[in-house]
Every structure is written in C-alpha cells, then in structure tokens.
Amino acid sequence: MKISNHKPFAVQRIKTKDLWQSAFMLSKGSQLHDLRLSDGGEIGEPTTGKKQKIIFVLTGKNINHLKREFQSGQAVCRVRILKASLMHLKDEMSKHIN
C-alpha cells in the first residue's frame, strides 16, 4: 500500500492586493498573517515617491478554495461579518501606515 505525503488540510498562504478578497477570506475563517508594501519595503518606511500598494498575506486551511470561489463570483458570506473583516483590515492598514 502506497502512503501519500499530501496533506489536504495543511495551512496554505496567499498574497493579494485586493482588499475585498482579503475581507471575504477573513470572514470565512482565514487569518491575516502579514501586511507588506508592493515595492518590497517595510510599512512605515519613508516612501520613494512612487505610489505604494499594500499586499495582504493570508493563511488558512482552505484559502486556495476561497480564492477560486471569490474569483469565480460564487463567493457568499454574511454581510455583517464581511463588514467587520473589512474594518479590521482597514484598522491594521492605518496602524502600519501612520
């Protein structure tokens, strides 16, 4: 008998610039692992004059499934939880930017 090393419930990680996608994933149980700047710098460092974008690093057991669900337009969640997740992300961004 062959034993597979595949772990179907292993924690997965993705990076996205999409605030709404990140909020959806948080509302479905994912965790915010980190916030990064798109130019590779640290949040809060002086800017180089270019417009910087935040990259959300999210982790979770089913994050790749949630990503496909969101991108296909089939995402469904409770509005209050989505709103709370969105506010949480905005709070985290403001903490790191200021």
> Does residue 91 form part of some domain?
yes
Per-residue pLDDT at 96? 77
The total of structural domains in the chain comes to 1
Q: Is residue 7 part of a domain?
A: no
Asked if residue 6 is part of any domain, the answer here is no
Torsion (CA) 93, 90, 29, 18 in degrees, nearest 10: -80
Query: Which residues of the chain have a pLDDT value below 50?
Result: 1-5
- At residue 88, the 3 state secondary structure works out as helix
Range of the domain at 25: 12-43+50-97
**The pLDDT of residue 90:** 95
Is 1 among the domain residues?
Answer: no
Work out the mean pLDDT of the chain and round it to a whole number: 84
Instruction: Tell whether 5 is covered by a domain.
Output: no
pLDDT at 23: 97
Rounded CA-CA distance 69/63 in Å is 10
Asked, for residue 70, whether it belongs to a domain, the answer is yes
Q: How high is the pLDDT of residue 51?
A: 72
Residue 24 lies in a domain: yes
